[in-house]
Amino acid sequence: MTPAEREEALERREANAGLLQAKLEKDRAALEAEIAASAAASKAAFSITRALQADAAKKVKDLEAECAQLEGKLAKLKADVAKATPEAPVESPSEKAAVAAAKAQVERDRAALDTERAAFAAESTGARAKLTAEAKSLADLRAKLVTIRGEIEAGVKVREAEVQRKDAALEAERAKLQASAAALARAEAQLSEQRSRMEGQVAALAAKEAMYEERHRQLQENMKNFVRT
């Protein structure tokens, strides 16, 4: 693998590490948003529970007040009947009818009160069952969120460890590449120095060769002159 290919591979690994880190941050943000939503839902359910409890307490108080009023009316009617009744009572038909009507009204009021109490008890039981179901659902959701959070945190730790290992490997490879680049630079400098020396030697040899050729030419001319003479 050439240094350029190694550098390109290193850049790709760094890009992949950046993408993985971004995904980890996105998963962490999603988990925090889900936990915040769960907390808001729990808070809303708690507020609804308190509101239902306050409403139930108010209805009980209203029913108790109404029952007290009806019992007061009944006591007043009994007192009125006792005042209107002589020691040797001789009740007229109208008085008997009024007493019977008052008793019937009291019985109807008592039956209505019993009906309202039964309806309130049923409503209260349903509200309690609903609250219990909501509390169980919230507990299940919290347990599920805890499990999911643990899994995500474990995955994040594993991915962070993997990213750290990859970063360490990338740093080691980068150091190797830098060392190789430094070695190549030194080798190139040595080659350049050797080339400069060789060029100097070649130039010196060329000068010597030119000098030898000039001497050889002069010797040939001297020989020619000597032969002529």
- Tell me how far apart the alpha carbons of residues 24 and 154 are, in angstroms, rounded to a whole number: 12
Instruction: Specify if 203 maps to a domain.
Output: no
Q: Classify residue 16: in a domain, yes or no.
A: yes
**How much is the pLDDT for 160?**
80
What is the number of structural domains in the chain?
1
Position 198 in a domain = no
| DSSP letter string, 123-148 | HHHHHHHHHHHHHHHHHHHHHHHHHH
Decide: pTM greater than 0.85. Answer: no
Tens digits of pLDDT across the chain (229 residues): 676 776 777 777 777 777 777 777 787 787 778 777 777 776 777 777 777 777 777 877 887 787 778 777 778 877 776 776 555 445 567 767 777 777 787 788 778 878 877 877 787 777 778 777 877 877 787 788 788 878 888 877 888 888 888 888 888 888 888 888 888 888 888 888 888 888 888 888 888 888 888 888 888 888 877 777 6
In a domain, 211, yes or no: no
Residue 188 in any domain: the answer is yes
The confidence score (pLDDT) of residue 3 equals 67
Q: At what angle do helices 93-228 and 3-84 cross, to 10 degrees?
A: 170
Residue 199 lies in a domain: no
Q: What is the pLDDT of residue 88?
A: 46
pLDDT at 30: 78
Alpha-carbon torsion angle 182, 184, 189, 192, nearest 10: -170
Residue 223 counted as domain residue: no
Q: In terms of residue numbers, what domain contains 29? A: 3-193
pLDDT given at position 97: 77
User: Is residue 218 one of the residues assigned to a domain?
Assistant: no
Q: What is the pLDDT of residue 86?
A: 52
